[in-house]
Amino acid sequence: MSPADADPAAKPLSGLRVLDFSTLLPGPLASLILAEAGAAVTKIERPGDGDAMRGFQPRFGETSAHYAQLNRGKSCLTLDLKAPYAVARLTPLIEQADILIEQFRPGVMDRLGLGYAAVTATNPRLVYCSITGYGQTGPARNEAGHDLNYLARAGLLAIGGDSTGKPVIPPGLIADIGAGALPAVINILIALRRAETTGQGAHLDISMTDGLFAWSFWGQAQAELTGATPEPGAELLTGGSPRYQIYETQDQAYIAAAPLEDRFWRLFCDIIDLPKALRDEDADPKAAIKAVQERIGAKPAAHWRAAFAGKDVCANLVQDIAAARADPLFQARGLFQDRIAAGGGVGMTASPMPIAPVFRDAGKETKVPSLTPQDKDSGGAAL
């Protein structure tokens, strides 16, 4: 019986142990979500400067704010994975672990003696999660890439182009988070369930590029069934409809308008006083978009904030991050109660993770793991 079974107040993943060999964003975010749900995460970092994200700006104590946000609440073991004693040093930890996360190119962990076959020989129930750009197999498996490359390869970047067809750089790291970290966590939890019932773990091949296809399911269906590739900036959800648009106000603010359903669209049109002839936008969507922009552009943001307030219309002002953090909606939901401590009185608000409120510890404080001195013990004693 796990500690979570024994103690109803324990978090759902309490008692689980995670070894995290990953760096930067996808893997560390995945292990952070597991840690937020109660798992004990040990992050393995290289000697010297550790995870490259430690060197990013802005600074937060002895590390970076980015590193602190993604690795708070974890412990750290500094170890040269190429050292002759590295496998022996890690073996007791691997034997005790439930989950292993790695983010190297395919074959690297095998060369280090830490591949799936090697580690599961002594721990067959281990859930071994490999996160890569293009997967463990296939002709691109060893290609370097970043979020923008994966979006381009999977066709998602083209769908999001503007009316000229030129793709725009997305503001969020869709591949790293939405097709990397989150699918990793989902598959880890599925594999844990199987391990609980059968004693058999799994090697999870998480390809961020593969995972992006779920984000464009509607475009794929259109392309396959009609033979027509979605036109950039011209589809229902990419700028071709007045019902899903961003409109500029008189004072250079912006309204995000998404009154897709007829009942929302009718109310939206009433509020902005759109002429009746333009409300059936199918006849000439461009004319309808132009007319809506003229109506929105004739008044300042404050006018539209008041006009849409309390109305079931799916329209609101575009906020910057500072305004969003101060929004009473998110303050009331307690998203920014948790803190991260860097020592010496230095602290900051923790970025909220996608953990349901029932599993959160409101107002908790976590610490940033420090780089430990390089381990030189070849005996492999457990930490």
Could you tell me the residue ranges of all domains in the chain? Answer: 3-215+360-367, 254-317
Tokens representing residue 305 in the block: 């904030």
Residues 335-369: b if buried by 16+ CB within 10 A, e if exposed: beebebbbeeeebbebbbbeeeeeebeeeeebbbb
Quote the mean pLDDT of the chain.
92
Query: Is it the case that residue 2 has pLDDT exceeding 70?
Result: no
Q: What percent of the chain has pLDDT over 90?
A: 80
pLDDT value for 161:
77
Calculate mean pLDDT across residues 128-149: 96
47-105 per-position pLDDT tens digit = 999 999 999 999 999 899 999 999 999 999 999 999 999 999 999 999 999 999 999 99
Contact 160, 235 (CB under 8 A): no
Query: Which CATH number is 3-215+360-367's, of 3.40.50.10540, 3.40.120.10, 3.40.50.20, 3.40.50.300?
Result: 3.40.50.10540
pLDDT value for 374:
60
Query: Is it the case that residue 380 has pLDDT exceeding 70?
Result: no
Query: Is it the case that residue 112 has pLDDT exceeding 90?
Result: yes
Active-site residue set: 176
Radius of gyration of the chain (CA): 25
Q: What percent of the chain has pLDDT over 70?
A: 95
